[in-house]
Amino acid sequence: MEAQRLARGAQEKYQKTLNIAYQLFLKYGYEKTSLQMIIKESGGSLATIYKLFGNKRNLFQKVIEQENSDFFQSLAEHFTQVEQSELCLQDFLIFIGKKLLSEIFTPETIALNRLIFVEGYNDSELLQTFQVSCVDKILSYFSKCLETYAKREKIYIQNLQEDAKFCID
């Protein structure tokens, strides 16, 4: 993670800024949350935010990535577990579907996704941030698993990416 490459003091500022920015983004939304509000709560400075994140959009993206990191770690573990199991493709799809739904419908994830979609409605670049950091990552995991099943069960899949996207959608 990016915070691990920073000195200890900078790591603490980085993490504190992310946590406060997340709470403010949830409470006020992206547009109504100013860097000054984040600075006031975090005790940092504008220079620190620019040094650590570059700009507000990058800060928002890092918040999304951090808040989804546990979800993706759990998801990666589920995909690895299933890939190494003897589940047939149908049972794999059911298992992963249930896991995805249980992970997606937590209060924290619902709040984060609400923020992303509300802000993305007004700013397509923010929605693109979510697409790249979340949806594309899930698609990558799912494609890899389908590829494993295609080889293992000798299933012909004409277009892995397209079929994976169909299942995810």
3 state SS of 95: helix
Residue 61's pLDDT is: 85
101, pLDDT greater than 80: yes
Q: Residues 14-25: what's their mean pLDDT?
A: 93
111 versus 9: the higher-pLDDT residue is 111
What CATH topology corresponds to 2-168? Tetracycline Repressor; domain 2 (1.10.357)
Higher pLDDT residue, 20 or 161? 20
What is the spatial distance between Cα 33 and Cα 26, in angstroms, rounded to a whole number?
9
Segment 6-10 mean pLDDT: 72
Note the pLDDT of residue 123. Answer: 77
62 with 22: CB under 8 angstroms? no
Model pLDDT, residue 6? 64
pLDDT band at 105 (very low <50, low <70, confident <90, very high): confident
Task: Provide the residue ranges of all domains of the chain, joining segments of one domain with +.
Answer: 2-168
Would you state the pLDDT for residue 4? Answer: 55
Give the CA distances from residue 155 to residues 95, 138, 146, 167, in Å, rounded to whole numbers and listed in that order. Answer: 19, 21, 9, 16
What is the predicted pLDDT for the residue at 39?
Answer: 94
CA-closest candidate to residue 35, choices 57, 62, 16, 13: 57
In this prediction, what percent of the chain has a pLDDT beyond 90?
19
pLDDT in tens, 21-65: 999 998 998 889 999 999 999 988 899 899 999 999 899 988 988
* Residue of higher predicted confidence among 164 and 91: 91
The token pair at 113 is 């996704």
Between 49 and 137, the higher pLDDT residue: 49
Q: What is the mean pLDDT of the chain?
A: 83
Distance CA 144, CA 150 (A): 10
